[in-house]
Amino acid sequence: MDKDTMLHIGKRLRRLREKTKLTRERFAERVGISPQFLAEIENGKKGMSADTLYKICDTFDFSADYILFGRISSDNLTKSTSETLNLLSEPYLSYTEDIIEIVDKIINEVQKK
C-alpha cells in the first residue's frame, strides 16, 4: 500500500476515533492494540491487518468501506448524491462529511423535541 493511501486511511480512522471522544490509549485498549501502533496507523506510518480492521469496525460499528476508501454510507442518501460523494477527493470529502454530520445532528435534535 502506498504512503498516500495509508495517510488517508489513518486520517479517517483518527477522525472516527475523535468522534467517539476516546483518547488514543482508551481506543487502542478496546481494540487490543498498543497506543503507539494506533498512532502509527493514524499518522500513515504503518498499515493494519485485516484482523485489526475487523476489530476496529466490530468494536465501534465503523464502516470498513469508509476507513479504507472514504465512502460515506448511502443508506439515507439519494443515488445521485451517493455517487457524487464517492467521486469527491480531499479536502472536499472531509468538508462534505462535516456538513453531513452537522445536518444529521440538527435533524436528531429536532426529532427529540
* DSSP H or E segment with residue 74: none
Which three cell numbers mark 58?
466490530
Cα–Cα distance for residue pair 98/38, rounded to 1 Å: 23
Convert the pLDDT of each residue in 45-81 to its tens digit: 999 999 999 999 999 989 898 899 887 766 656 677 7
Q: Is the pTM of this model over 0.85?
A: no
Output the pLDDT for position 25.
Answer: 98
Cα–Cα distance for residue pair 16/56, rounded to 1 Å: 10
Output the pLDDT for position 28.
Answer: 98
Output the pLDDT for position 1.
Answer: 81
User: CA geometry: angle at 62 spanning 57 and 65, to 5°?
Assistant: 90
Which three cell numbers mark 74?
448511502
Cβ distance 87 to 72 under 8 Å? Answer: no
Pick the CATH number of 1-71 from 1.10.260.40, 3.40.50.720, 1.10.274.10, 3.30.70.600: 1.10.260.40
Q: How far apart are the first and last CA of the chain?
A: 47
Percent of the chain's residues with pLDDT above 90: 52
The domain locations on the chain are 1-71, 72-113
Q: Between residues 106 and 34, which one has the greater pLDDT?
A: 34
Cβ distance 73 to 86 under 8 Å? Answer: no
Number of neighbours of residue 6 by Cβ within 10 angstroms: 18
Convert the pLDDT of each residue in 2-17 to its tens digit: 899 999 999 999 999 9
Cα–Cα distance for residue pair 31/61, rounded to 1 Å: 12
Q: How high does pLDDT run on average in the chain?
A: 87
Output the pLDDT for position 51.
Answer: 97
| Local structure of 104: helix, strand or coil | helix
